[in-house]
Chain A
Amino acid sequence: MAAHAATGAKTATNDVSHKRRKGPGALATVYLVIYNVVMTAGWLVIAVGLVRSYLAKGSYHGLYYSIEKPLKFFQTGAVLEVGIVPSSVVLTGFQVMSRVFLTWAVTHSVREVQNEDSVLLFVVAWTITEIIRYSFYTFSLLNHLPYLIKWARYTLFIVLYPMGVTGELLTIYSALPYVQKTGLYSITLPNKYNFSFDYHTFLILTMISYIPLFPQLYFHMMRQRKKVLGHLEEHSKNE
């Protein structure tokens, strides 16, 4: 769910209906271009870090540590997208929040899961998705979008999204026993505010919430794909 990328500095709906919308002003455009370039670069750094680390170690294991800091930095930085984006604040906010949740409240907080392969699974999915997505926005803003990027953005999600979701769910699942054992982020009764919170149960509920939410987001992207790429026959492939 957090792996998918329908939102960002420009959305698919914005692409399709951009003739009707006013573009951002000159200053806003400069800001957005810089933002998107920086984010593209950041995720490229993560990608390169993963590859180098893999080559050095010779295995897929424990690659998280080599990119932990840039991952946290650039994923958290996506908070800046919320509200400056034409698409619904609710949708963007939700996306970013779930990514940040996975980064900090699960992977960072539960050290024992950091070695899991499931972490690599979602990190790779996020990395590829974000590199394509942010370069897509950059090129769109500069009005020079290579068809390949547009195609990639609206096609690769078909694989990357389920891949990311699988990685996320497996990671949360593997965190469960440690959370239960240590009572991480949990409050028990009695206390003077008469409140309790069981993080273990909360994580299970989070996992369950993927069931209604993931299909909705996935099929939304499918519909966007038809709208954007469905014009193959009518329009020229050169942007």
Chain B
Amino acid sequence: WGRAVVFFEVEILDAKTKDKLCFLDKVRPPPRVYPQWYPARQSIRLDPKGKSLKDEDVLQQLPVGTTATFYFRDLGAQISWVTVFLTEYTGPLIIYLLFYFRVPFIYAPKYDFTTSKHWVVHLACMCHSFHYVKRLLETLFVHRFSHGTMPLRNIFKNCTYYWGFAAWMAYYINHPLYTPPMYGEQQVTIALMIFLFCQIGNFSIHIALRNLRPPGSKTRKIPYPTKNPFTWVFLLVSCPNYTYELGSWLGFTMMTQCLPVAFFTFVGFVQMTVWAKGKHRSYLKEFRDYPTLRSPILPFIL
């Protein structure tokens, strides 16, 4: 699908003595070196259509005979996960503030640099900003990534999604003609409680997941509830981080009573459900004793 697959035969030599440790069929030196194929974009596999071998795989333990053929696939230009996350999260943070402060050319000129008279609009700005600052800090200090990189085109896709939706939501919430929630202070207070509860919950899950994995390692273990009550939801759900994330955005939707926010929440929910189902499936495949009570994202439902 799209990219050429190049056939190689592999010979492994000892770096110091140049002894042949592993001689695999006819050795043919490559016609030229390919410096543009740095390690992160190399996919080496035993079968052209199969899964990529991992960096940790050992040649002797692979199911090959005395002759081995590896297939190389170019994964395309790569970019680090950290870079992508930082970029895609900084955008919404800044963009929302541009709308909040009503910089020129967004709304009618008479509103330039004015602020909304509704206190919920100020609250919404604080919550939205807090959410993305939290995400940035988690990216820098909490998350331990399995993969170093992802395809470069993802950054354009992801930034369009996050930045686009942030602008769309922020436009209406900070609009001079914004209409505050129907049930006023009651509605906003409850929404704020939900939002904060889920932010703490989401953070707790991120910490719990981090602690499953020693620094620098890529081990995978079944997550379990810890002493922190916010993690007890692991009893019922495989990916409670997504559950809490959904809850946060439902809270924000209730707080702002803004249809674009509801759309964003819905689209995010669909995507997170896809991810949660995938994660749940791979847990089940990898661990025989995986708890059967758990659902991917919504207890008993989904």
Contact = CB atoms under 8 A, between A and B. Distances in A.
Contacts of A189: 172, 175, 177-178
A188 B116 CA distance: 19
B182 A194 contact: no
B259 A190 contact: no
Interface string A171-202: 00000000000000000011111111000000
B258 interface: yes
Nearest to A190: B177
Nearest to A195: B259
A232 B259 CA distance: 56
A195 B258 contact: yes
B260 A192 contact: no
A193 B175 contact: no
Contacts of A190: 177-179
A168 to B, nearest CB: 26
Nearest to B182: A192
Q: Indicate the size class of the contact surface on chain B.
A: 10 to 19
A195 B262 CA distance: 11
Interface in B146-203: 172-173, 175, 177-179, 182
Contacts of B173: 194
B257 interface: yes
Contacts of B182: 192
B256 interface: yes
A190 B116 CA distance: 14
Contacts of B258: 193-195
A186 to B, nearest CB: 15
A93 B179 CA distance: 36
Contacts of A191: 179
A interface secondary structure, majority: loop
A195 B172 CA distance: 7
A193 B177 contact: no
A192 B172 contact: no
Nearest to B175: A189
A123 B262 CA distance: 39
Interface in A187-239: 189-196
Nearest to A193: B259
A193 B178 contact: no
Nearest to B259: A195
A17 to B, nearest CB: 13
A23 B38 CA distance: 43
A90 to B, nearest CB: 15
Interface in B233-285: 256-260
Contacts of A196: 172
Contacts of B178: 189-190, 194
A86 to B, nearest CB: 16
Contacts of A195: 172, 258-260
Contacts of B177: 189-190
A195 B179 CA distance: 10
B188 to A, nearest CB: 14
Q: Give the interface centre of A190, A191, A193, A194 by most chain B CB atoms within 10 Å.
A: A194
A195 B178 CA distance: 9
Nearest to A192: B179
Contacts of B172: 189, 194-196
Contacts of A193: 257-259
A192 B179 CA distance: 6
B267 to A, nearest CB: 15
Nearest to A197: B259
A197 to B, nearest CB: 10
A195 B259 CA distance: 6
Interface in A85-112: none
B217 to A, nearest CB: 39
A196 B182 CA distance: 18
Nearest to A188: B177
A85 to B, nearest CB: 19
A123 B24 CA distance: 64
A190 B179 CA distance: 7
A199 B10 CA distance: 61
Contacts of A194: 172-173, 175, 178-179, 256-260
22 contacts: A189-B172, A189-B175, A189-B177, A189-B178, A190-B177, A190-B179, A191-B179, A192-B179, A192-B182, A192-B257, A193-B257, A193-B258, A194-B172, A194-B178, A194-B257, A194-B258, A194-B259, A195-B172, A195-B258, A195-B259, A195-B260, A196-B172
Ordered nearest first, which 5 A-B pairs have the shortest CB separation?
Answer: A195-B259, A190-B177, A189-B177, A194-B258, A193-B259
Interface of B: 172-173, 175, 177-179, 182, 256-260
Given A194-B257, A196-B172, 13 more contacts: A189-B172, A189-B175, A189-B177, A190-B177, A190-B179, A193-B258, A194-B179, A194-B258, A194-B259, A194-B260, A195-B172, A195-B259, A195-B260
